[in-house]
Amino acid sequence: MSATGTYDRFEELDAGRVLGDLSIDEVKEWKELAPKQQSENSGEFDWIGAELELRNSEPCPLSSSLITRLNDTIPVFTNKSVSKPSSSNIISIIPWLGWAAAACLLAFFNLPSGDGVQNVSAELAQAKAELSDKAKTITDLESAKQELAKLNENLSGELATESGKIDALNTQIAKLTEKLPLLQKFESLIQDDSDTQRLEFASASDPYKGLSGEVIWNDEKQEGYMSLENLAVNDPTQNQYQLWIVDPERDELPVDGGVFDITEKDGKQIIPIRNALAINKPVAFVITLEQPGGVVKSKQEVVVALAKS
Amino acid sequence: MHLRNFILFSNIDSFRFALGVVPSEGLQANNEDGLLSLVAKGDGQAMKKCIDQYGPLVWSIVCRRISERNDAEETCQEIFTEVWQKAESYKPSVARESTFIGLIARRRAIDWQRKQNRLPLLTDLESISEASAATPLAGINLDRELLWKALEQLPKKTRELFTLHFVKGMTHEEIVQETGLPLGTIKTKLRRGLIDARKFLKDFTPEEASKR
């Protein structure tokens, strides 16, 4: 490109710079050409552009909030050690001033004063824009508030659910804690004494088909326990389970082994044997369903389970 | 008048100006009396006067191109910060104070538009000190009357595009929508127009201008 061509191109780019329409590539090109082509006339486009901009600019009075904002920067301006005031040094707009300005403008707008009315109209437009901004902020805040309320509601629901789970777990822990001593005794009786009898329960009628479990008994200690699973929960006001111990050496009639209830459907239930009389050589253990409180002699109308040697 | 109305205006001049008692041009012309030289010395009162006097002009330029109020106010702050930083480089022999401040305001407002389009900023290309160091336009000291007369030499279409760009503050894309002209045509005509305006201005002498 000739010297004239290069100058013409730079002149065009420089005009584009002042017009603010340089593309990214043109900016690069301008930067390459500027060191050689810039002259004492380089600022002329800037001045012409500024004059054209100012030509039809009708000064628009500043809102009081903006004046405050600008004036608040003056201490920073006068501090020569600071090269540029940061936004943190600038006092924000006092919120009510915008509303006060709008109210004043409304009053001012009613005055019949020629050009003044035009200027006040501009102020009014600014105040309206300010009010619009505030209205938008309020709408946004209300929207955020609704979102928070919804979130809070969801969290409360989740919290209630989790609290329910925790309560259930606590109940379970309490029950297990309650069962623990019996379990320990059950295990202890099995492990420590070789002469402990251990018999398996089998269901004795269809309604109790899924039942399983065992009974352990120690003659010397006169102590024994039942371990039962899948035995139906009973209503103590209607009927109760009763254990019978068959000991032919003692009597032909079974000995009462105690009345008990099943309160939980799931899990292993440990029931201590509460024999009314001393037992010598038990050969069988029978569970029946009886009236509340049990009976002295069972009619064996409902035989639940049987364990025999 | 109620006192509340008074708080809208920072001083009696701007108050009178708002009422239309003082014409805007007169107010500016009468007060262009070396404020920037005081600002350059770090005079806080001068800076306050500067804001009072040129704030409405700056705000007008800013609002023409920036629609977001908060961004417009921030840009206004940036402009006066730059005025303070560059006040030392201002030369009364080159341009009026209002032109100097208008130049900064225009550049910052256009930069805001360019920022929205992720384009390099004008303020990164050249500092105002470099521009103000230039000598005045040959023999005319940027006489406004001569400039208007020079503009009359431009084609009508170019003058219309100037109005859309300089007066209405439209971006080229907005001018495309307004006129239906291709972007390239608008870009070329505006650039050519600015180049021609400078040429006409240089060719003019006050005597020639009065004859035309």
| Residues of chain A with C-beta less than 8 angstroms from the C-beta of B83 | none
| Residues of chain A with C-beta less than 8 angstroms from the C-beta of B152 | none
Q: Nearest C-alpha of chain A: how many angstroms from B211?
A: 22
Helix-helix angle B69-86:B97-116, to 10 degrees: 130
Q: Nearest C-alpha of chain B: how many angstroms from A164?
A: 50
pLDDT, one tens digit per residue, over A275-291 is 888 898 899 999 999 99
Alpha-carbon dihedral B1, A61, A100, A104, rounded to 10 degrees: 30
* Poorest-pLDDT segment among A183-187, A213-217, A256-260: A183-187
Residue B131 has pLDDT above 60, yes or no: no
H-assigned helices in B32-163: 35-40, 44-65, 69-86, 97-116, 128-133, 144-151, 156-162
**pLDDT given at position A286:** 95
Rounded to an integer, the average pLDDT of B141-168 is 85
Neighbours of A74 (CB within 10 A): 20
pLDDT, one tens digit per residue, over A138-162 is 888 888 888 899 899 899 999 998 9
Round to whole Å and give the CA distance between A264 and A268.
9
- pLDDT greater at residue A53 or residue B124: A53
Neighbours of B45 (CB within 10 A): 12
pLDDT, one tens digit per residue, over A190-229 is 887 678 889 999 998 888 988 999 999 998 889 999 999 9
Round to whole Å and give the CA distance between B170 and B172.
6
Task: Provide φ and ψ at A60, rounded to 5°.
Answer: -115, 110
Rounded to an integer, the average pLDDT of B3-27 is 34
User: A85 at the B interface (CB within 8 A)?
Assistant: yes
Residue B51 has pLDDT above 50, yes or no: yes
Mean pLDDT of chain A: 81
- pLDDT greater at residue A295 or residue A137: A295
**pLDDT given at position A1:** 65
Chain A residues 3-42 with a CB less than 8 Å from chain B = 11-12, 15-24, 27, 30-31, 34, 38, 40-42
Question: Best interface-test mutation with A: which of B3, B8, B125 has the largest number of A CBs within 10 A?
Answer: B8
**pLDDT given at position A271:** 93
Interface pTM, i.e. ipTM = 0.77
- pLDDT greater at residue A175 or residue A275: A275
Residues B20 and A119: beta-carbon distance below 8 Å: yes
- pLDDT greater at residue B9 or residue A126: A126
Rounded to an integer, the average pLDDT of A168-176 is 86
**pLDDT given at position A266:** 79
Please report which confidence band the pLDDT of residue B183 belongs to, taking 50, 70 and 90 as the band edges.
very high
**pLDDT given at position B19:** 33
Please report which confidence band the pLDDT of residue B75 belongs to, taking 50, 70 and 90 as the band edges.
very high
Element (H, E) at A68: helix A64-71
Residue A98 has pLDDT above 70, yes or no: no
**Sign of the CA dihedral running B196, B199, B205, B206:** positive
Helix/strand/coil percentages in chain A, nearest 5? 50, 15, 35
Q: Which residues have a Cβ under 8 Å from the Cβ of A201 and sit 6 or more positions away?
A: A211, A212, A213, A214, A215, A226, A228, A285, A287, A305, A306, A307
Residues in chain A: 309
Q: Nearest C-alpha of chain B: how many angstroms from A8?
A: 10
Residue B138 has pLDDT above 70, yes or no: no
**pLDDT given at position B6:** 32
| Residues of chain A with C-beta less than 8 angstroms from the C-beta of B64 | 57
Chain A residues 39-58 with a CB less than 8 Å from chain B = 40-58
Residue A59 has pLDDT above 90, yes or no: no
Round to whole Å and give the CA distance between B107 and B101.
10
- pLDDT greater at residue B95 or residue B132: B95
Q: State pTM to two decimals.
A: 0.50
Please report which confidence band the pLDDT of residue A44 belongs to, taking 50, 70 and 90 as the band edges.
confident
**pLDDT given at position A236:** 93
Chain A residues 92-131 with a CB less than 8 Å from chain B = 100-101, 103-105, 107-108, 113-120, 123, 129-130
Q: Is A173 exposed, middle or buried (0-12, 13-18, 19+ CB in 10 A)?
A: exposed
Please indicate whether, in this complex, the C-beta atoms of B8 and A64 are within 8 angstroms of each other: yes
- A112-120: long-range contacts, CB 8 A cutoff, minimum separation 24: A113/B19, A113/B20, A114/B20, A115/B19, A115/B20, A116/B18, A116/B19, A116/B20, A116/B21, A117/B20, A118/B20, A119/A60, A119/A61, A119/B17, A119/B18, A119/B19, A119/B20, A120/B18
* Facing residue for B122 by CB, picked from A20, A34, A38: A20
pLDDT, one tens digit per residue, over B84-123 is 988 988 888 878 899 899 999 999 999 998 998 888 887 7
| Residues of chain A with C-beta less than 8 angstroms from the C-beta of B148 | 55
Please report which confidence band the pLDDT of residue A6 belongs to, taking 50, 70 and 90 as the band edges.
confident
Q: Nearest C-alpha of chain B: how many angstroms from A11?
A: 7
**pLDDT given at position A94:** 37
Residue B4 has pLDDT above 50, yes or no: no
